[in-house]
Structures are given as C-alpha cells and as structure tokens.
Structure 1
Amino acid sequence: MTVAQRQQSVVEAYALIENKQERLGAIVDTARTLPPFSESERIAEHLVPGCTSRVWLRAELRDDTCHFTTDCDSPMVKGLVHLICECCEGLPPAEVARAEISVIEALGLWRDLSGTRQNGLRAVAQRIRQHAVAFAAA
C-alpha cells in the first residue's frame, strides 16, 4: 500500500460524515481514545518545532517499516496529527519519504484552520519525512 492509497482510505472513511464540523468532531473523539505520552516520553527530542500547540512525535523503524506515535496538548491538533501519522503507519521508509501528505486537505478541513495550525501540521509532515529519510539511509 502507498501513502496515497492509505490517505484515500482515511478520506473515504471520514467522508461518510458529510458535515465538516461533525467530521472534525469524530477525528477529535478518536484522538481522545489514544494513550497519552508519559512524562518520560515528552522530551525535547520528540517535540516538533514550529507548532503552536506542543506536539510530540516518536518514530521508529520496525521490520523495515515506519511506526509513529504522537501526543499533543490540544485534542483537535492531536486528532489531525494522528490522521497524518495513520497515513504513513507501517509503510516502508522510502514510500513515506517521497509522499505528499495531504489528508487534511482531502478531507476539506485545511482551509478552516488558522495559519499557525497549518504551519504546525506542515512541520509534523516534514518531521515524519525526515524520520523516513533517516530510516531509509540506515
């Protein structure tokens, strides 16, 4: 599976919810079920610079595939970051490194976000790609 295929799957799942606000609410509700990082995981190494909300992203390579976990101090941002990670989860580093991650735009939510939130989500996508590039080179 590619990142584009994974994004399409996520979009199809959430597109069943026609109202954008309800769709965003469902994304936030999903994020609330995710386990938070422990204090020992909330370290500078995992903090994504460029985000207004504090976003922590942990990446690891297992069985030649990328795996991401995330936490955030904003439920909405946590949900959006989780969607981005979900599109890259379990895929080979080379696939993630070259991917255009556009799931938030495809869901029709991008335009409704503030410029600072957009910049933060771009920073998360960039950090994911940086991890993937490093994993591919290893």
Structure 2
Amino acid sequence: MSVSEKQAQLIEDLSFIEDRQERLAAVVDRARRRPVFSADLKTEANRVNGCISQVWVTGELGDGVLHFQFDADSPLVKGLVALLVDLYEGGTPADIVATEPVLFEQLGLSRDLTPTRQNGLTAVRAHIKAIAQRHT
C-alpha cells in the first residue's frame, strides 16, 4: 500500500469518529499501545528539533522500505507523532519524501492544536523526510 493510500485509509478509519475531541482522544489512545522506545535511542541525533516537547524518531531501511520508532514526553504529542509514523511506516523513501500529510487538516485535528504543536508536527515531518532522503 502506498503512503497516499495509507493516508486515505487512516482518514477513513478516523473519520468514523464524528466528534473531533473524541477523535483526538482516540489518536492519543493509539499511542499508548506502541512498543517501548529504548532509552539508548534517546540521543541528540534522534531528537526532533523544533518541538517544545521532547520527541525522538528513528528510521531504518529494510527490504526497500523504512521502519520507524519514536517516543515523546507528552501523551498528546506522542499520539500525534504516532499518527505520522503510522502514515509513513513501511513506505519507500521516495514515497515518504513525496507525500505530505493532509490527514490532520482533513480530520479537523489541526483546529484543536496550538500553533506550537502545529510547528512541532511540521518539525517531526521534516525529521521523517530527512531520514527518508538519506535513503533515496
């Protein structure tokens, strides 16, 4: 499945929740079920610059696609980053670079985020894109 197809699927799945606040709560809840991020990966090289919260994202290429791990020190930020990681997980580097995330806007989540959180998501997207560009 391409990143664009995955994005459409995520939007469809989360649009089923009509209330925006409940939708945001579901996004946060998804992150709670993620694998534990190893403490030794919390390095400066993996830290996302531009986030007020502490966010770390790593990516490794395997079989031509990227696999990501992440963590954040805020439950809300962790949920939002999880949504981005879910979008790009298993994508080819070229597909990841080419596909911008529109799901936050289409799901109405952007309206409920402060400008600093929106800037942080932009920084996470840039970090993921940089990881993908290193593998193109």
What's the TM-score, normalizing by structure 2?
Answer: 0.95
Number of matched pairs: 136
Superposition pairs of residues 33-48 of structure 1, within 5 angstroms = 33-48=33-48
Whether the aligned pair in 2 keeps the contact of 1:88 and 1:96 (CA below 8 Å) is yes
Superposition deviation, residue 47 in structure 1: 0.5
Alpha-carbon distance in 1 for matches of 2:86, 2:49:
20
Superposition deviation, residue 98 in structure 1: 1.3
Superposition deviation, residue 105 in structure 1: 1.3
Matched, 1:132 2:132: yes
Matched, 1:99 2:99: yes
Equivalent AA in structure 1 for residue 90 of structure 2? G
Residue aligned with 2:14, SS: helix
Other-structure match for 1:115 = 115
Equivalent AA in structure 2 for residue 119 of structure 1? N
Alpha-carbon distance in 1 for matches of 2:76, 2:122:
15
Q: Which runs of 4+ in 1 moved over 4 A?
A: none
Equivalent AA in structure 2 for residue 21 of structure 1? Q
Residue aligned with 1:108, SS: coil
Residue aligned with 1:21, SS: helix
Equivalent AA in structure 1 for residue 55 of structure 2? V
Superposition deviation, residue 100 in structure 1: 1.1
Instruction: Give me the CA root mean square deviation.
Output: 1.0
Alpha-carbon distance in 1 for matches of 2:15, 2:52:
28
Percent identity of equivalent pairs: 45
Residue aligned with 2:120, SS: helix
Other-structure match for 2:89 = 89
Deviations 1:58-92 (A, max 9, x none): 11100010111110001111111111111111111
What's the TM-score, normalizing by structure 1?
Answer: 0.94
Superposition deviation, residue 2 in structure 1: 2.3
